Amino acid sequence: MERASVIRKTASDFGVAPNWVDYAEARREFSWEKARSGLAGLPGGGINMAYEAVDRHVAGGAGDCVAFRFLGTDAERTMTYGELARQTNRFANLLGALGVGKGERVFILAGRIPELYIAVLGSLKYGAVACPLFSAFGPEPIATRMTLGDARVLVTTESLYRRKVEKIRERLPGLRHVLLAQASGDIPGTADLQRLMEQAGDTANVAPTQPEDMALLHFTSGTTGAPKGAVHVHEAAVTHWATGRFALDLHPDDIFWCTADPGWVTGTSYGIIAPLLHGVTSVVDEADFDAERWYRILQEQTVAVWYTAPTAIRMLMKAGDDIPRKYVFPQLRFIASVGEPLNPEAVWWGQEVLGLPIHDNWWQTETGGIMIANTPAFDIKPGSMGRPLPGIDACIVERDAQGRVRIIDTPDTQGELALKRGWPSMFRGYLNNEERYRKSFAGELYLTGDLAKRDADGYFWFVGRADDVIKSAGHLIGPFEVESALMEHPAVAEAGVIGKPDETVGEMVKAFVSLKSGFEASDALRMELLGHARKRLGAAVAPKEIDFLPSLPRTRSGKIMRRLLKARELGLPEGDTSTLEGDTSTLEGQS
């Protein structure tokens, strides 16, 4: 189907007036200093994320507003800001009673249950560092991360403890306290979280944390190699607040659903902190992905703003368009996506099937918050990740022969995406890897490791990760472009593209695709796809080989692992697969 290259937007497209409409003016007017005044701060110049997220609203009279709606597999539980304040006070007091030191690390290994949210916010309130781990990790990835992070406390459930932690416990001598939720009785070496919570008082003083005090530790997805531990500080809340306003268009009465698990940075920055900073009600689904269930949630919970990931959108597309037709969601007004490139096909699918385009945005574990986004304030060019948010300066750079970094001003030129340092949620280090951290900067610029282009209108276009770009017959080919072209074919649900060494052209473009339900792999379909891609991309860029796979290897956060497709194709070692999704037919939690 032929489609326009731009989705035009006007304020009247939104049921609720957007937070901003003028990109140039907002960028001009914005300063991080002004953004800070959106928060309260602590007396003496301190800032505490949990205070800003929870207690500030209670002090302002919003204690009865609902902070979370937890959707269990069969029951629903709501938690008000008031209750969240009391519960996090209890958790902070409990850490004090255990003698946990300020700045020590509290790891949380749990599904999306209330205890996880209470432990994260309670740790922040106490002045400890919170580190949520994705609950589907096996014992090894858990041990590696807890060792690297020097875990002092672990909050988990009895069942996860027995299955995953018991066997690695003796390798974690620094782990002093294991607190079990949903415990059935006394288990040696652990304490019952609920009992400790009951014993602790429900009023507490907020720790006088300073802007640069460490607050959160997040591990990257491990898409390109071994996951890195990124350190974030309390003042990151300023970015969370500003991006909640500019990129997600949060309004105080909104019902918001971020589908990411807090084990990934999106699930914390936008599944916990940002929505609370704006006083909205967040839906938390404790269950795993299920297309029918997700549409039902959008309808029944009357979700207004929905933040999800390309992999989830592709799975909804794969499930077919008959399911969404059974549901209506008139309150839904804004959909955003992050984590991987969002193929134009997916943006259009949103527009045509859900009635709303999907707003792609770009950021990383390292950036702590959304940096480049499609927003309510300007038209969407499907396939572009949007424009830098107010307060963010992004550019495209290249290195010269001496390794010096130079900014490329010419539009539409491919290079590495870089950001001018200084936004509050910028990571302050890779844990135990100072050198790698230093290498990520060139003077005032943070180098992201992603390749992109900027067009004449200031929109950024993702090309691929620096490691994934294919060099074929003198061309640099971004896998995203090829994957997007394949996705336009009605049979294709997912595509992953790699460069395969080739004597003549250097690297040959090879694609792996999985098919939508109702389509069968065959030589005829392969020929058809090769022809389709050649017509769309030209012979130099189109794949020469296509393999069919039932599904593509993904990280547990839902990203296609091209390095694994490549290693498998070439019979090379697979490298770090600690975040590889075990059963690739399910989607466990997206970053």
Q: Which residues bind ligand ATP (CB under 6 A)?
A: 220-225, 227-228, 338-342, 360-362, 364-365, 385, 448, 450, 462, 465, 557, 559, 591
Q: Give CA angle at 176 (175, 181), nearest 5°.
A: 90
Minimum distance between the CB of residue 202 and ligand ATP, rounded to whole angstroms?
35
243 binds, among Mg ion, ligand ATP, none (CB under 5 to 8 A by kind): none
Q: What dihedral angle (degrees, nearest 10) is formed by the CA atoms of 122, 128, 130, 131?
A: -150
590 binds, among Mg ion, ligand ATP, none (CB under 5 to 8 A by kind): none
Measure the CA–CA gap between 68 and 54, rounded to whole angstroms: 11
Is residue 175 within 8 A of residue 163, CB to CB? The reply is no
Minimum distance between the CB of residue 162 and ligand ATP, rounded to whole angstroms?
29
Minimum distance between the CB of residue 467 and ligand ATP, rounded to whole angstroms?
8
Which residues does 226 contact at the CB level (< 8 Å), separation at least 6?
Answer: 575, 576, 578
Measure the CA–CA gap between 473 and 475, rounded to whole angstroms: 6
Minimum distance between the CB of residue 153 and ligand ATP, rounded to whole angstroms?
25
Minimum distance between the CB of residue 468 and ligand ATP, rounded to whole angstroms?
9
102 to 152, 210, 213, 407: CA distances (angstroms): 11, 12, 10, 41
427, HSE (Cβ side, Cα atoms, 13 Å): 28
> 160 or 313: whose CB is closer to ligand ATP?
313
Minimum distance between the CB of residue 315 and ligand ATP, rounded to whole angstroms?
17
Is residue 375 within 8 A of residue 386, CB to CB? The reply is yes
Burial class for 444, CB neighbours closer than 10 Å (0-12, 13-18, 19+): exposed
269 binds, among ligand ATP, Mg ion, none (CB under 5 to 8 A by kind): none
Query: Which range binds Mg ion by CB under 5 A, 212-220, 267-275, 278-286, 474-482?
Result: 212-220
* CA dihedral (87, 90, 91, 92) positive or negative: positive
Measure the CA–CA gap between 279 and 67, rounded to whole angstroms: 7
375 binds, among Mg ion, ligand ATP, none (CB under 5 to 8 A by kind): none
27 binds, among Mg ion, ligand ATP, none (CB under 5 to 8 A by kind): none
> 52 or 481: whose CB is closer to ligand ATP?
481
> 220 or 557: whose CB is closer to Mg ion?
220
Query: Which range binds Mg ion by CB under 5 A, 30-38, 219-227, 478-486, 563-571?
Result: 219-227
> 362 or 446: whose CB is closer to ligand ATP?
362
> 340 or 494: whose CB is closer to Mg ion?
340
Measure the CA–CA gap between 361 and 110, rounded to whole angstroms: 27
The one-letter code for the residue type at 420 is K
Minimum distance between the CB of residue 367 and ligand ATP, rounded to whole angstroms?
8
591 binds, among ligand ATP, Mg ion, none (CB under 5 to 8 A by kind): ligand ATP
The one-letter code for the residue type at 26 is A
362 binds, among Mg ion, ligand ATP, none (CB under 5 to 8 A by kind): ligand ATP
Beta-strand relationship, 281-285 and 177-181: unpaired
338 binds, among ligand ATP, Mg ion, none (CB under 5 to 8 A by kind): ligand ATP
Minimum distance between the CB of residue 449 and Mg ion, rounded to whole angstroms?
6
Is residue 510 within 8 A of residue 577, CB to CB? The reply is no
Measure the CA–CA gap between 488 and 62, rounded to whole angstroms: 47
Q: List interacting residues with Mg ion (CB under 5 A).
A: 220
